[in-house]
Amino acid sequence: RKEVEQDPGPFNVPEGATVAFNCTYSNSASQSFFWYRQDCRKEPKLLMSVYSSGNEDGRFTAQLNRASQYISLLIRDSKLSDSATYLCAVNRVNSGYSTLTFGKGTMLLVSP
């Protein structure tokens, strides 16, 4: 099983739709979870951090289920500008420091 797995895409949705992405992780010791957004040929940019059960920021809601080892990202009222690839990242705890493991990403295409 891969360390971090995401829904394969792409997701094609109309403007105004609600869309949800899932991400599962294999390391039960992971403590921090992140959703990054990556536009085509650009660098990943942090969208949301998830440390406890969940986090909400405007139209975006991230939820964490530690028992089932998955994180979800919900986008409400999709905009054309939400079209991008969404990367799930999970921290790997080492001795005194933390690094990130990324999933392959899920592409979202929002159409008029």
Partner 1 sequence: GAGVSQTPSNKVTEKGKYVELRCDPISGHTALYWYRQSLGQGPEFLIYFQGTGAADDSGLPNDRFFAVRPEGSVSTLKIQRTERGDSAVYLCASSLWAAATDTQYFGPGTRLTVL
Residues that bind partner 1 (CB under 8 A): 4, 31-32, 34, 42-46, 49, 51, 87, 89, 91, 93-94, 96-105
Q: How far is the CB of 58 from partner 1 (least distance, A)?
A: 18
Distance, in Å, from the CA atom of 112 to the CA atom of 103, rounded to the nearest integer, reads 28
Q: How far is the CB of 45 from partner 1 (least distance, A)?
A: 7
Which is nearer to partner 1, 97 or 112 (by Cβ)? 97
Q: How far is the CB of 111 from partner 1 (least distance, A)?
A: 21
Q: How many CB atoms lie within 10 A of CB 4?
A: 23
Residue with tokens 């001795």: 95
| Residue 67, token pair as written in the block | 């028992």
Which is nearer to partner 1, 6 or 72 (by Cβ)? 6
Residue in 98, 110, 112 with CA at minimum distance from that of residue 37: 110
Pairing relationship of beta strands 106-111 and 11-14 according to DSSP bridges: parallel
Which is nearer to partner 1, 41 or 68 (by Cβ)? 41
β-sheet bridge partners, residue 34 = 49, 89
Q: How far is the CB of 53 from partner 1 (least distance, A)?
A: 15
